[in-house]
C-alpha cells in the first residue's frame, strides 16, 4: 500500500470520528491501567461492569492493595481469569505504592515491570492516558493492518513497528483507537462488513478478493 492510500484512509477515519476514545471507562491513568490489565481475554463491556462496582469503593493503588486478593476478587469475579488477574493487580498496586509513590509511571520499561502488564498494555496506557506516540496492537488491529494492507506483518511487534513507521504523522496519536474500533465494528473477523466500510475502495483485501 502506498503513502497516498494510507493518508486517505486515516483522513476518512478522522473525518468520521475526530476525537476517538477507548471504550474502557476510566477517570485517571491508574483506573485505565487496572482496566486494561483486567481486559485481557475479556470484553470492555464486562470490564466496565466490574470496575463500576470496584472504583467507587477503591480506585487508588493503596485502596485496592488494602482489599487484598480475596477482597478484589469479589469485585472482578465476573471477568475471565479473575484469580490470576487479582494477584497481578494487587502486586502491581504494591509496586506502584512502594516504587512509584502511588503514581503510574510514564515509561514503557517501568510499566512492563508491573505484573500483568505486557507491551500491549503498556502502549495503551502510554497512548491513551499520557498521549504519547505508541501503538498497542491487539487482535483487531493485527487483523485490520494485515487485511487492509496498511501494515502487514507476521507478528504483533512487526505490525506495531510498521504502523509507527507508515501511519501519517498527523494521525499517529489516535490511530490506535481508529483501527481498533474499525476492527471491532466493521472489519470483523469472520465476515467483514465491506459494503458499509468507509475505506472499502482503498482496501487491498477487497481489491484482492475482487480479482480472484
User: pLDDT band for position 209 (50/70/90)?
Assistant: low
Please confirm, yes or no, whether 120 is among the known catalytic residues.
Answer: yes
pLDDT recorded at residue 152: 96
Please confirm, yes or no, whether 201 is among the known catalytic residues.
Answer: no
Q: Could you give the domains of the chain?
A: 3-21+135-211 (1.10.1670.10), 29-129 (1.10.340.30)
Q: What is the pLDDT of residues 1-12, one digit of tens each?
A: 899 999 999 999
Catalytic residue from among 85, 120, 174, 206:
120
d(CA 125, CA 29): 7
CA 73 distance to own-chain centroid:
23
CB atoms within 10 A of CB 16: 13
Q: What is the pLDDT of residues 37-77, one digit of tens each?
A: 999 889 999 999 999 999 999 999 999 999 999 999 999 99
Catalytic residue from among 138, 165, 206, 212:
138
Q: pTM surpassing 0.85?
A: yes
Amino acid at each position: 500500500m502506498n503513502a497516498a492510500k494510507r493518508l486517505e484512509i486515516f483522513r476518512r477515519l478522522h473525518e468520521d470520528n475526530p476525537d476517538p476514545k477507548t471504550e474502557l471507562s476510566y477517570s485517571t491513568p491508574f483506573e485505565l491501567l487496572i482496566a486494561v490489565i483486567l481486559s485481557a481475554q475479556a470484553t470492555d463491556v464486562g470490564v466496565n461492569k466490574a470496575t463500576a462496582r470496584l472504583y467507587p469503593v477503591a480506585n487508588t493503588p493503596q485502596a485496592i492493595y488494602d482489599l487484598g486478593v480475596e477482597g478484589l476478587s469479589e469485585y472482578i469475579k465476573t471477568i475471565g481469569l479473575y484469580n490470576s488477574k487479582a494477584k497481578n493487580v494487587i502486586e502491581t498496586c504494591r509496586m506502584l505504592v512502594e516504587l512509584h509513590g502511588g503514581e503510574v509511571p510514564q515509561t514503557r520499561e517501568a510499566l512492563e515491570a508491573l505484573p500483568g502488564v505486557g507491551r500491549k498494555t503498556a502502549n495503551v496506557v502510554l497512548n491513551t492516558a499520557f498521549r504519547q506516540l505508541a501503538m498497542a496492537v491487539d487482535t483487531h488491529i493485527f487483523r485490520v493492518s494485515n487485511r487492509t494492507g496498511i501494515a502487514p506483518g507476521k507478528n504483533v511487534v512487526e505490525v506495531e513497528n510498521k504502523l509507527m513507521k507508515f501511519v501519517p504523522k498527523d494521525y499517529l496519536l489516535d490511530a490506535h483507537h481508529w483501527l481498533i474500533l474499525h476492527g471491532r465494528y466493521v472489519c470483523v473477523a469472520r465476515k467483514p462488513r465491506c459494503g458499509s466500510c468507509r475505506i472499502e475502495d482503498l482496501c487491498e483485501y477487497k481489491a484482492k478478493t475482487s480479482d480472484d
